[in-house]
Amino acid sequence: MYKTLWNSINKQVKNSHASAAFLAVSLMGWTTIGLLAGFLICMIGGMSFVTKVTVVLCSGGYTGLILGFFGGILYLYRSEPRHLAAATPSQVFPQQLAVNDYFIQDPRYLQTYANYFCKFIDAYKEQGIPISMIMFQNESWSYTNYPGCAWTAEGIIRFNAEYLAPTLKRQHPEVKLYLGTINTNRYEVIDQVLSDPRMPETIEGVGFQWEGGQILPKLRAKYPQYKYVQTESECGWGSFDWKAAEHTFGLMNHYLGNGCEEYTFWNAILYDGGFSGWGWKQNALIHVDSKTGTATYTPEYYAVKHYSHYVTPGSQVLAYKDRGDKMPVMVVMTPQKRQVVIAGNFNEEAKELTVKLGTRYLNVTLQPHSLNTFIEK
């Protein structure tokens, strides 16, 4: 019921008012159900008028309060999307760490799970799809309403170093093992894992997404021997607008500028409101209208093209400036030995930009809310 109501509210109400409208309708709906239940109870004979009124009011009031209001809050809490851009360094995710591994730490289960990875690789190979890289778990720090599995640092080390890596090397030495996907900004947890002396022989790289991106620079500085990748772009709030484009443009600047060799998107194409299975409105590079059958390139598509079109395989990031002042900048040397400057201005006014390129300088004015690429001739 909550999911159906939330989806309906999202289609008719602005994002900023959706939660309030959802709680109001949920409260009224459950109160009405409670009142009807109270009337049915009162049809049983032997009650005084005062008792009947009390039963009806209590049934409606408690049902509305508990199931309508608090139940609605619980649903919103469990399905609330996270936004990296809104987080500050003082906000840790998750607020509390799991003290026990959700995965049973029995050697029989751990080895069976490692074998499962190899069978997964075999099955895809039979279909002509080679797997080149795996990670042990998606978002080990998301305690969600969809299927997931939380691990402690000790459990992560144990499974990867003692079971998954050895099994993978025996059965599929061609497949790389990366640590990920990391979606926590608790530096001490990931540092505990990477500081284990067995890790250099266990993994080849590390994958980050969402809150994990906040600790990428610090971890890469301490562990430069690993390769780094971004594993899931933030899928936003279903606006398909320029703000979403700027958000993704800034994310790509951050991850690529901090040494990530790959950038992965969650949604390439979505239709209509872009709802997920649990009612989360999301963004995509292409938006399809199911009624007309027309497809539209969203602003986010063009934001991505600044990087995907010009930062070709083999390119080297020469310099980068994060989006702290709403002006992310990246300088790239392509395999053709041409320098490319990718810069954004998310401010309300035009901004001057000066970039030194060897013995020359690029001096330009970036228009408000613009995404720009400059190519060396």
**Got the DSSP string for 309-368?**
TTS-TT-EEEEEE-STTS--EEEEE-TTS-EEEEEEE-SSS-EEEEEEETTEEEEEEEPT
- Number of H helices and E strands in the chain, helices first, is 12, 13
DSSP letter (8 states) at residue 260: B
State the pTM of this model. Answer: 0.76
The pair of three-digit structure tokens given for residue 186, joined into one six-digit string: 């608790």
Cis, peptide link before residue 130, omega less than 30° from 0: no
What integer pLDDT is reported at residue 277 of this predicted model? 67
Q: What is the pLDDT of residue 308?
A: 93
pLDDT of residue 27: 82
Q: Provide the residue ranges of all domains of the chain, joining segments of one domain with +.
A: 2-80, 107-313
The phi-psi region of residue 80 (left if phi > 0; otherwise alpha if psi is between -120 and 50; otherwise beta) is beta
pLDDT attached to residue 127:
97
Model pLDDT, residue 201: 96
- Residue 340 in tokens: 């490319």
- Which residues have a Cβ under 8 Å from the Cβ of 283 and sit 6 or more positions away? 235, 236, 237, 238, 239, 240, 244, 248, 267, 270, 274, 298, 300
pLDDT tens, residue by residue, 216-274? 999 999 999 999 999 999 988 889 999 999 999 999 999 999 999 999 998 899 988 88
Residue 53: predicted pLDDT: 77
- Tell me the percentage of the chain whose pLDDT exceeds 70: 89
Q: Residue 294 burial (CB < 10 Å; 0-12/13-18/19+)?
A: exposed
Q: Is the Cβ–Cβ distance between 353 and 374 less than 8 Å? A: no
Over residues 327-361, the pLDDT tens digits come to 999 999 999 999 999 999 999 999 999 999 988 99
pLDDT at 349: 96
Q: How far is CA 70 from the centre of its chain?
A: 26
Instruction: Give dist(CA 54, CA 255) in Å, integer.
Output: 61
Would you say domain 107-313 falls under CATH 3.40.630.30? no
Query: Which pLDDT belongs to residue 3?
Result: 66
pLDDT recorded at residue 287: 93
Digitized pLDDT (tens) for each residue of the chain, 377 residues in all: 766 776 666 555 544 456 777 778 888 888 889 888 877 887 776 777 777 778 778 887 888 788 888 787 777 655 544 444 444 445 888 888 888 898 999 999 999 999 999 999 999 999 999 999 999 999 988 877 666 788 999 999 999 999 999 999 999 999 999 998 999 999 999 999 999 999 999 999 999 999 999 999 999 999 999 999 999 999 888 899 999 999 999 999 999 999 999 999 988 999 888 887 667 889 999 999 999 999 999 999 999 999 999 998 999 999 999 877 899 999 999 999 999 999 999 999 999 999 999 889 999 999 999 999 999 88
pLDDT at 80: 45
